[in-house]
Amino acid sequence: MWCRRPLLTESLHLRRRYFNQSAAAEVPFDPEVPLAYLDGFPKPDPKYAEIIKAIPRANSGKNIAAKERKAGRVPSIVFEQKDGQHGGNKRLVSVQNNQIKKLVNHLGRSFFLSRLFDLEVQSAFGSDDIIEKVRVLPRGIHLHAGTDAILNVTFIRAPSNALLKVDVPLVFRGEDVSPGLRKGSYLNIIKRTVKFLCPADIIPPYIDVDLSELDAGQKLVMGDLRVHPALELIHSKNEPIVKIMGARVSDQRKSK
């Protein structure tokens, strides 16, 4: 079990834009209280609460990476968000290709990148000798352009006091009852993920987008998203995410 560490209230007090989403203002937020997922908001599915196994990797480079992939492993890096990519607290590891492939296939690539995992670094796969056990957020996954083979994965350490930038996937609901879509208009999805600054303990696995009341010509913008009030929107709140467009030309001809 992972122990909850106190949030850095000093860092959270610096975040003054908790209520830049109109719907988020409905939920009171006290930065002195440990954060938790709230009722009515998406929570991570415990079905995918899996420990990712890893082993140390001494060196980097194309030849080393090729040998790792040939052995069924994926070259990976675990680092801190602020300065790890520049050498601070960075650990070179390799993870099992089959495990990462299974998770990505089951979750979907963008959902994999918005979910926390426990990562266990062992001296060798299957060993009881544990070098490090840490909660991580996948930061990036690089696939081969032709085969979709996993080339490398990057992870960020995600302790409870971390504030992490996350591209959170959007899930669109209510298309079957949208007045505009029922009239023959069509859905123009402009954004499929939205970037938020998230306290690590409440990273949403996705954000629901309700289309049920949208009529033709109407749109939703990022400020309309209903999220936990401790999440900070990094984009402009006026940036559009979806719009109900006019009927297609073919549909207009059919109606004549």
Residue 44, pLDDT above cutoff 80: yes
**What is the arithmetic mean of pLDDT over 36-60?**
91
Specify the DSSP element, H or E, that contains 135.
strand 130-143
- Poorest-confidence range of 5-9, 54-58, 67-71, 215-219? 5-9
Average pLDDT, the chain: 83
Residue 224, pLDDT above cutoff 50: yes
Q: What is the pLDDT of residue 82?
A: 66
* pLDDT tens per residue across span 60-80: 788 888 999 999 999 999 988
Domain ranges for the chain: 9-34+162-255, 46-157
Q: At the topology level of CATH, where does 9-34+162-255 sit? A: RNA Polymerase Alpha Subunit; Chain A, domain 2 (2.170.120)
- What are the DSSP calls for 88-99, one per residue? TT-EEEEEEHHH
Higher pLDDT, 194 or 255: 194
Sheet containing strand 193-199, strands side by side:
207-210, 163-173, 193-199, 232-233
**What is the arithmetic mean of pLDDT over 166-173?**
96
Q: Whole-prediction pTM value?
A: 0.79
Question: Which residues partner with 173 through β-bridges?
Answer: 210
Residue 16, pLDDT above cutoff 80: no
Residue 253, pLDDT above cutoff 60: no
Q: What is the pLDDT of residue 172?
A: 97
Q: What is the pLDDT of residue 33?
A: 56
Answer yes or no: CATH 1.10.1740.10 is held by domain 46-157: no
Question: Measuring CA to CA, which residue among 220, 182, 225 is closest to residue 24?
Answer: 225
Alpha helix ranges (H) inside 71-121 = 97-107, 109-112
